[in-house]
Structures are given as C-alpha cells and as structure tokens.
C-alpha cells in the first residue's frame, strides 16, 4: 500500500478531498455503542444521541467557515447552547452560574 501511495495510485479516487461519512458512533460512549446500534437498526435513536449529533452538526456549521448570514448564525448559536444545556449538565451549571452573577 505504501508503494501504491508513493506512485500516486490513490490520488484520483472518487470522493477525494471530501469528508468521510462516518457513523454517528463517535458521539456515543464506547460501552453503550452496541446497545445504541441495535436500537438504531430497530428505528429508534435515543434523544441524547440525536442531540449530540445535532451539536456536532451545529459546531461544524458554525466553526467550519460556512457562509451564514448573521441571523442564521445567531439562531444556530442559540440552538447549540440549548442542546448543550440539555446534554451536558456541567455546561448548564456554568451558564446558570453566569446568569446568577
């Protein structure tokens, strides 16, 4: 494989330069992946997994330099903050701490 790579045989493959479509498993704790995979195959995705997927999408949208107008960027940032408070209790505690000041 290293020789083929050195010869440039992988340079013009379809999809070169595009992001890989990875499974959503990266957002699921490792010890729960099998159970979530079974649920997903049965057509059910737990809300926290769906929320983590949405968080990843919104972060990618906001931080990858996507061309959003200011209103769309503000809506995405608000939705991201809301999802983080639902999924990450420590984040919610920090937000509440700042508001209490």
In 18-33, which positions are buried (b, 16+ CB within 10 angstroms) versus exposed (e)?
eeeeeebeebbeeeeb
- Residue 90, pLDDT score: 75
| 33-77 pLDDT, tens digit each | 888 888 888 888 778 778 888 998 898 888 876 677 888 888 989
- pLDDT at residue 79 in the model: 92
Write out pLDDT tens, residues 29-43.
788 888 888 888 888
Q: Which helix (H) or strand (E) holds 73?
A: helix 70-87
| Confidence label for 22 from pLDDT (cuts 50, 70 and 90) | low
When divided into structural domains, the chain yields a total of 1
Range of the domain at 48: 2-100
Residue-level pLDDT at 78: 93
Which band of pLDDT confidence, cut at 50, 70 and 90, is reported for residue 20? low
């Amino acid at each position: 494989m290293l020789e083929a790579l050195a010869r440039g045989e992988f340079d013009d493959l379809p999809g070169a330069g595009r992001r890989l479509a990875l499974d959503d498993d990266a957002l699921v704790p490792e010890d729960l992946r099998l159970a979530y995979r079974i649920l997903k195959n049965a057509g059910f995705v737990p809300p926290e997994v769906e929320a983590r997927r949405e968080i990843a999408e919104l972060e990618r949208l906001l931080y990858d330099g996507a061309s959003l107008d200011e209103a769309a960027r503000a809506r995405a940032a608000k939705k991201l903050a809301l999802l983080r408070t639902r999924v990450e209790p420590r984040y919610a505690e920090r937000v509440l701490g700042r508001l209490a000041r």
